[in-house]
Amino acid sequence: MNLVNKAEKTFALTTPLYYVNDVPHIGSAYTTMAADAVARFQKLLGRDVLLITGTDEHGQKIQRSAESLGKAPQEFCDEIVPSFMSLWRLLNIQYDRFSRTTAVRHKAIVDEFFARVWEAGDIYQGQQKGWYCVSCEEFKEERELLEGNRCPIHVNKEVEWRDEQNYFFRLSKYQTQLEEFYQSHPDFIQPESRRNEVLNFVSQGLQDFSISRVNLDWGFPVPNDPKHTLYVWFDALLAYVTALLDPEDEPTLENALGKWWPINLHLIGKDILRFHAVYWPAMLLSAGLPLPDRVFGHGFLTKDGQKMGKSLGNTVDPVGLVQQYGSDAVRYYFLKEIEFGKDGDFNEVRFIHVLNADLANDLGNLLNRTLNMVKKYCANYALSITNEDIPAENTLKALGVDLGAKVKQAYEVLAFNQACGVVLSLVQASNKFIDDQAPWSLYKQERQQEVETVLYTVLESVRLAAYLLSPVIPNISSNIYQQLGFGINFNEQTDITPFAIHAQWGLLSNKQQLGQPQPIFKRIEQTKNV
């Protein structure tokens, strides 16, 4: 059976399927915002994109969370899931699929996949002994534990001793194949530090891992032994596959894998790297399926140096942030300020400072004052010149010419901070340019051509900046494009703004019907309590 028939133009990516043990927080939002920026960027490149997110609803962690509230697990999940969906709407996330592991059709995919792994001879029964972190849903090595038998990721949770009959997956059989795969696909695990972590872990020798639990009801039964419940991670990873089905499709692997497989990018936090970079490819090898292109494990958002998390409860509420500052502000801050891959602390004073400096002052004021100058200095509120009139050595044109290529390269390696940073340097250079050139005095000296050259050059640089930032701040970029006379909304019409054209400096024309100047981002006042 030839399961895969992926077209070049497609790009499928995933966020983790978040546990529903509590409502989402800024950490869950971080991965999802990054994924949305990648999806939007890929659309600008003309790709057919499928962005998958969703929720992981099985296992002991969820069962216990439900029990603690006196609810049935399904009822509990059904109550939490809408809080994820509404946060994604609030953050302007354009996801295509929302994959819930409790979906009926998911079970069919899991059963079919399990059968393939079973037939490969990779599942056997054995005795599992070890320390288990319910919050991670993972066995831990004794040497990894913190004092008092606590999990290194969930520092407030003690691990629990388990000694039970489980089914095991023969991970050890795939040691060499995985190592060869990592060598021949050096970009599979990113960033480099995460790749080294995985290579190091694998080189210590892979142990088979248990894929079933006893004494736990909440999950799918193991197909040929329903007294056992399938391990939550075995079923959760497969929900990426189920998500590929079109709504009307019969849930079979053949239908799921036809168009979008292999996934181009799994975006995750570093806490779940091993599952995606080791267990998942081994499971796929066992089932005879091609492996994903890339797994990127980003860093943690921390509070006072600790990973923010639902289990620890030290989280920042993204809903409040968006309601107060808007979705673009939140997206911009986290993607611009924290190097993707590294940990980053959230600090509200810094948050306000960055937004005021970059969006309100550098970008917003620049557009506003330049449009107002066009109004004042140019007949009919229109520029009379075009790109051809601007010499190649013009400072901003020289900077703008290869900016698109630089930013593309940065987005491709998920260096969002670098992408935003180089765009901001064009914006800052534009502010300096307008101050140096002083069009107000050129105007007094009746040097009209020069006045218009300066104003064109600056407005065109703002346009290019807006385009290149549109994956991160789509509302502000749309607003800028509209004020510059393009009737384009980046939330709706990516196909009419191809990168090959809009990422070039010089697109603004003398036919532009400029709109009324309006502030694009209101300066935030520091309140006393931050």
- 63 touching ligand ATP, by CB under 6 A: no
- 101 touching ligand ATP, by CB under 6 A: no
In terms of Cβ atoms closer than 10 Å to its own Cβ (0-12, 13-18, 19+), residue 162 is: middle
> Which of the listed partners (Zn ion, ligand ATP, none) does 27 bind, with a CB threshold of 5 to 8 Å by partner kind?
ligand ATP
> Which of the listed partners (ligand ATP, Zn ion, none) does 19 bind, with a CB threshold of 5 to 8 Å by partner kind?
ligand ATP
CB of 292 to ligand ATP, least distance (A): 16
> Which of the listed partners (Zn ion, ligand ATP, none) does 308 bind, with a CB threshold of 5 to 8 Å by partner kind?
ligand ATP
Q: Give me the residues paired with residue 306 across strands.
A: 303
**Footprint of Zn ion (CB under 5 A):** 133, 135-136, 151, 153-154
Comparing CA positions, the residue from 318, 328, 323, 419 lying closest to residue 92 is 328
Checking DSSP bridges between strand 48-56 and strand 97-100, what pairing results, if any? Answer: parallel
Of the two residues 18 and 456, which places its CB atom closer to ligand ATP in the complex? Answer: 18
CB of 324 to Zn ion, least distance (A): 32
- 30 touching ligand ATP, by CB under 6 A: yes
In terms of Cβ atoms closer than 10 Å to its own Cβ (0-12, 13-18, 19+), residue 192 is: exposed
Distance CA 199, CA 183 (A): 10
Helix (H, G, I), strand (E, B) or coil at 243: coil
Helix, strand, coil share (%) of the chain residues, nearest 5: 50, 15, 35
Of the two residues 20 and 289, which places its CB atom closer to ligand ATP in the complex? Answer: 20
Of the two residues 273 and 390, which places its CB atom closer to ligand ATP in the complex? Answer: 273
Checking DSSP bridges between strand 209-210 and strand 160-169, what pairing results, if any? Answer: antiparallel
Distance CA 229, CA 221 (A): 4
Task: Give the binding range for ligand ATP (CB under 6 A) out of 25-33, 207-215, 478-486, 502-510.
Answer: 25-33
Distance CA 497, CA 482 (A): 13
Of the two residues 212 and 311, which places its CB atom closer to ligand ATP in the complex? Answer: 311
Contact yes or no for 109/99 (Cβ under 8 A): no
Of the two residues 25 and 228, which places its CB atom closer to ligand ATP in the complex? Answer: 25
Of the two residues 236 and 396, which places its CB atom closer to ligand ATP in the complex? Answer: 236
Residue 133 assigned to a binding site: yes
> Which of the listed partners (Zn ion, ligand ATP, none) does 133 bind, with a CB threshold of 5 to 8 Å by partner kind?
Zn ion
Residue 77 assigned to a binding site: no
Which residues lie closer than 8 Å to 454 by C-beta, 6 or more apart? 433, 434, 437, 439, 442
Contact yes or no for 407/423 (Cβ under 8 A): yes
Task: Give the binding range for ligand ATP (CB under 6 A) out of 310-318, 345-353, 363-371, 462-470.
Answer: 310-318
Residue 310 assigned to a binding site: yes
SS (H, E, C) 22-90: CCCCHHHHHHHHHHHHHHHHHHHCCCEEEEEEEEECCCHHHHHHHHHCCCCHHHHHHHHHHHHHHHHHH
Side chain identity at residue 372, one-letter code = N
The one among 12, 13, 21, 265 contacting ligand ATP by CB under 6 A = 21
Of the two residues 13 and 268, which places its CB atom closer to ligand ATP in the complex? Answer: 268
**What residues from 237 to 296 belong to the interface with ligand ATP (CB under 6 A)?**
268-269, 271-272
Task: Give the binding range for ligand ATP (CB under 6 A) out of 18-26, 328-336, 393-401, 454-462.
Answer: 18-26
CB of 317 to Zn ion, least distance (A): 22
> Which of the listed partners (Zn ion, ligand ATP, none) does 35 bind, with a CB threshold of 5 to 8 Å by partner kind?
none
Number of other CB atoms surrounding residue 388 within 10 Å = 7
> Which of the listed partners (ligand ATP, Zn ion, none) does 301 bind, with a CB threshold of 5 to 8 Å by partner kind?
ligand ATP
The one among 12, 16, 171, 296 contacting ligand ATP by CB under 6 A = 16
**What residues from 398 to 417 belong to the interface with ligand ATP (CB under 6 A)?**
none
In the chain the first and final C-alpha atoms are separated, in Å, by 60
The one among 11, 13, 19, 456 contacting ligand ATP by CB under 6 A = 19
Residue 136 assigned to a binding site: yes
Find the length of the chain.
Answer: 530
Of the two residues 251 and 309, which places its CB atom closer to ligand ATP in the complex? Answer: 309
| Structure tokens, 213 | 């639990």
Comparing CA positions, the residue from 132, 306, 281, 141 lying closest to residue 198 is 281
Task: Give the binding range for ligand ATP (CB under 6 A) out of 19-27, 125-133, 236-244, 252-260.
Answer: 19-27
CB of 339 to ligand ATP, least distance (A): 13
Side chain identity at residue 453, one-letter code = T
Of the two residues 22 and 362, which places its CB atom closer to ligand ATP in the complex? Answer: 22
CB of 17 to ligand ATP, least distance (A): 8
CA angle 196, 31, 530 (to 5 degrees): 115
Rule CB under 6 A: which residues touch ligand ATP? 16, 18-19, 21, 25, 27-28, 30-31, 135, 268-269, 271-272, 300-301, 307-312
Residues of the binding site for ATP: 310
Residues of the binding site: 133, 136, 151, 154, 310
